[in-house]
Structure 1
Amino acid sequence: MHIPLRAIGVFHAVARTGSVTRAADELGVTPSAVSQQIQSLEVSLGATLIGKSGRNVVLTEAGERYFEMIQAEIEGIAEATQRIRGFRSVTALTVRASPSLATKWLLPRLASFIDAHPDIELRLDGTNEPTTFQRENVDLEIRHGTGQWPGLFVEGLVEERFRPVCAPQVAAAGSLDAAELLRFRLIHSVKSQAQWPHWFELAGVAPTERWRRVSFDRTHMAIDAATAGFGIALESDLMMSTELKAGRLVCPVRNPPALSLTTQWVTCPPDHLRLGKVKTFLAWLKHERDIWRSERDRTL
C-alpha cells in the first residue's frame, strides 16, 4: 500500500501553522504546490481535510482528527531525522505559562534546568491564552484556572496560600488587624481566583465604606505595585516567593485567615507524556516545586 508521505508532511505543516502560505514558506515551495499536495492527500484518504473561512484555513472534523493522530509521529520523525543528519544537536522543548508564573517563579529557577540538560533547547512562551495543542507547537502548558479541561492530562502544580502583602514602609509585618486594611489602598488582581471580598468575609470583616483601590489584570503587575508601595495586595505565596524571601513584601495582618487554592495546573495531551523531553521537564518542575514547598513550610 502506497503511503503519501510527502503529502502527509505538507498537511502537517498546514495544520500546524494554520496557513497554506506559512506552510509553503516553511517548506520552501509555492502555495500552489502545497494546495496540490493537500488535494492529492484528500483524494487518497477519501475525505476533505481543509476548508476555508474567509482568508483563513480551517480543519474539517476529519482534518482535526487526522492531525491529532499523526502529529506526535510526524514531529518525532522530524526530530529523529534532524538528529541523525546532524542538523540539530539539541531537542526543542516549548513550555507555555502565564507571564506572571513565568516571570515570578519559573524564570528564577530555570538556570538549573538549562545547566543540567544542555541537550534540550528550551523555549518559554509567556501568555495567558490557553493552548490549542492540535494546532500549536507547544509541548507542555502550566495553565492558570480551575483545572477543568476535558481530554487533557491535568495535574495541580501546588496549593497556594493567599495573604495580604505590602512593602514594609507601608505597614510593618503583623502590625494591623484585618479591619484596619480598609484604611489603605487595596490592590486588586483582576484575574486572580482570590479576591478581597472573599478574604474579608473569611476575616469576619464587613466593609462599610467604598474602599480605595487600584486594579491590575496581571498578577506580576499587582505584586510589583505592592513592592513599590502602591498599597496592599492579596496575592499567592507562589507568585511572590522571591519578594517575601527578600523581605520586599511582608504580611501586615496579625493572624490572617487561611485562604488556600490551586490555581496553576500542568496540562498537555496525554500522548505528550510519552516524550522524553516532557518527562525530563516534569521531573525537574516537580523537584523545584517540592523544594519551594518545603522552604515555605519551614518558615511558617
Structure 2
Amino acid sequence: MQLPIRAIWVFHVAAKAGSISKAAEELNVTPSAVSQQIQALEVQLGTSLMVKVGRHIALTEAGERYFESITDGIEGIADATNLIRGFRSILTLNIRATPTLSNKWLLPRLASFLDGHPDIEVRLDGTNEPTDFSRELVDLEIRHGDGRWPGLFVEGLAEESFLPVCAPSLAAAASLAAEEIARHRLIHSLKSQAQWTRWFPLAGVTPAERWRKVLFDRSHMAIDAAVNGMGIALESTLMTEHELDSGLLVCPLASPPELRLVTQWIVCPRDHLRHKKVRVFLEWLRQERDAWQRRWSAPEAARTPAAP
C-alpha cells in the first residue's frame, strides 16, 4: 500500500499545533484542506485520530499512539532533508527559570547542553513569574514553589540542603555555635521557603525578639550580600555551589541542623513532552541533577570541584 505521506505530515503538524487553523497557517493551505487530509488518513487507518474541542482539537487514544510513533521519524526526515539541501536544521528551545537558579546553577552548566546539541538554540528567560502555557511560547519551565500545579507535568529538580553561610572574613567555617548566629546581621531571602524563623527551632535556639537583618526579594542578591560580608544568609547548597566550592562562602557551624526541601520544579504541559527538543533537554537536566546530587551526598573532602 502506498503511504499517504502528505496526509501523515499534515496530521503531525495539526497534532503539534493543537489547532486546524494554526496548522493551515503553518502549511499555507486552507483549514478545509487540512481537515480533508486528516479525514483521508483516518479512512486509510480505519480509526479516528482527532476530535474537535471548541476551537481546538484533541487526539483520540489511537491518535496519541500514532503521533508518538511517527514523531521521531518525521523529525528525522525533516533534519535529513535540510541537511541534503545544505541547511542545518535549527530548533529553538524556550526555557523559563527563576533568576537565581538561572544564574547560579543552570547557566554554568548550559554550555555542555549546547555543545552536545548544536541543532538546538536555547532562549533562557530568567523570571519568577509562572508561565501561562496557553498564551506564552515557553517549552519548559523550572518553577519555584511547592510543586502543586494540577494539569501539568511536574518533577522536582533536586532536594536542597539549606545552611547558614557567610564570608570567611565574617566568621570562619565551623567557628560559631548555633546560639551565636543571631548575634550577627541575618540576611533574608523573602521568597525563599527556608526562613530563619523555621531554622532557629531546628537548631534549638530562641533568638531575641528583634535582631539585625537585611531583606532581599531575590536569593541571588542575598547570596552576593553574604559574599560581600554583609551578614549570614540561609541558603541552599544548590544555589551556593560555586561560592562554597571557591571558598567565597563557608558554613560557620560545625554541625548545622538538617533543613532539606525541594523548591525548584520542572514544569510543562504533558503534550510538550512529545517534542524531541524538550525530551533531550529534560534528559540532560536529569543527568546534571543526578551528578550534582551524587557530588553533594559525598563527604566534603571527597568532592571534586564543580565544573566552571
The TM-score bracket by the shorter chain reads: 0.7 to 0.9
Distance 1:255 1:138, change over 3 A: same
Partner residue, 1:94: 94
SS of the aligned residue for 1:125 comes to strand
Q: Is the 8 A contact 1:174 1:254 kept in 2?
A: yes
Residue 9 (1) aligns with residue 22 (2): yes
The code of the aligned residue for 1:200 comes to: F
The total of aligned residue pairs comes to: 251
The code of the aligned residue for 2:222 comes to: A
d(CA) in 2 for partners of 1:134, 1:125: 17
Q: Is the 8 A contact 2:88 2:119 kept in 1?
A: no
- Listed one character per residue, the Cα deviations across residues 39-58 of structure 1 (whole Å, up to 9, x for unaligned) are x98xxx9xxxxxxxxxxxxx
Partner residue, 2:298: 298
Q: Is the 8 A contact 1:139 1:268 kept in 2?
A: yes
Offset at 1:147? 0.1
- Listed one character per residue, the Cα deviations across residues 174-194 of structure 1 (whole Å, up to 9, x for unaligned) are 100111011110000000000
Partner residue, 1:218: 218
Offset at 1:208? 2.1
Give the TM-score normalised by the residue count of structure 2: 0.73
- Listed one character per residue, the Cα deviations across residues 118-146 of structure 1 (whole Å, up to 9, x for unaligned) are 01111111111101111111111110000
Q: Is the 8 A contact 1:82 1:88 kept in 2?
A: no
Offset at 1:89? 2.1
Offset at 1:292? 1.1
Residue 268 (1) aligns with residue 268 (2): yes
d(CA) in 2 for partners of 1:68, 1:253: 58
Q: What pairs up with 1:34-45 in 2 under 5 angstroms?
A: none
The code of the aligned residue for 2:178 comes to: A
Distance 1:175 1:275, change over 3 A: same
- Listed one character per residue, the Cα deviations across residues 227-277 of structure 1 (whole Å, up to 9, x for unaligned) are 111100000100111111111100001311100000000010111111111
SS of the aligned residue for 2:158 comes to coil
Distance 1:67 1:93, change over 3 A: farther
- Listed one character per residue, the Cα deviations across residues 45-99 of structure 1 (whole Å, up to 9, x for unaligned) are 9xxxxxxxxxxxxxxxxx99645759xx9xx9xx999965767621111111001
Distance 1:254 1:65, change over 3 A: farther
d(CA) in 2 for partners of 1:93, 1:265: 18
d(CA) in 2 for partners of 1:68, 1:152: 18
Distance 1:118 1:296, change over 3 A: same
Q: Is the 8 A contact 2:20 2:56 kept in 1?
A: no
Distance 1:8 1:239, change over 3 A: same
Q: What pairs up with 1:219-258 in 2 under 5 angstroms?
A: 219-258=219-258
Q: What pairs up with 1:154-165 in 2 under 5 angstroms?
A: 154-165=154-165
Offset at 1:9? 2.8
Partner residue, 1:120: 120
d(CA) in 1 for partners of 2:274, 2:192: 32
Residue 207 (1) aligns with residue 220 (2): no
d(CA) in 2 for partners of 1:115, 1:197: 43
SS of the aligned residue for 2:265 comes to strand
The code of the aligned residue for 2:160 comes to: E
SS of the aligned residue for 1:92 comes to strand
The code of the aligned residue for 1:191 comes to: K
- Shift >4 Å, 4+ stretches: 10-13, 67-70, 79-88
Distance 1:8 1:290, change over 3 A: same
Distance 1:67 1:288, change over 3 A: same
Partner residue, 1:175: 175
Q: Is the 8 A contact 1:161 1:259 kept in 2?
A: yes
Partner residue, 1:24: none
SS of the aligned residue for 2:191 comes to coil
Offset at 1:298? 1.3
Give the TM-score normalised by the residue count of structure 1: 0.75
d(CA) in 1 for partners of 2:149, 2:139: 16
The code of the aligned residue for 1:132 comes to: D
Offset at 1:10? 9.0
The code of the aligned residue for 2:152 comes to: L
SS of the aligned residue for 2:155 comes to strand
Unaligned runs of 5+ residues in structure 2 are 1-10, 36-51, 60-66, 301-308
SS of the aligned residue for 1:202 comes to helix
Unaligned runs of 5+ residues in structure 1 are 14-26, 28-39, 46-62
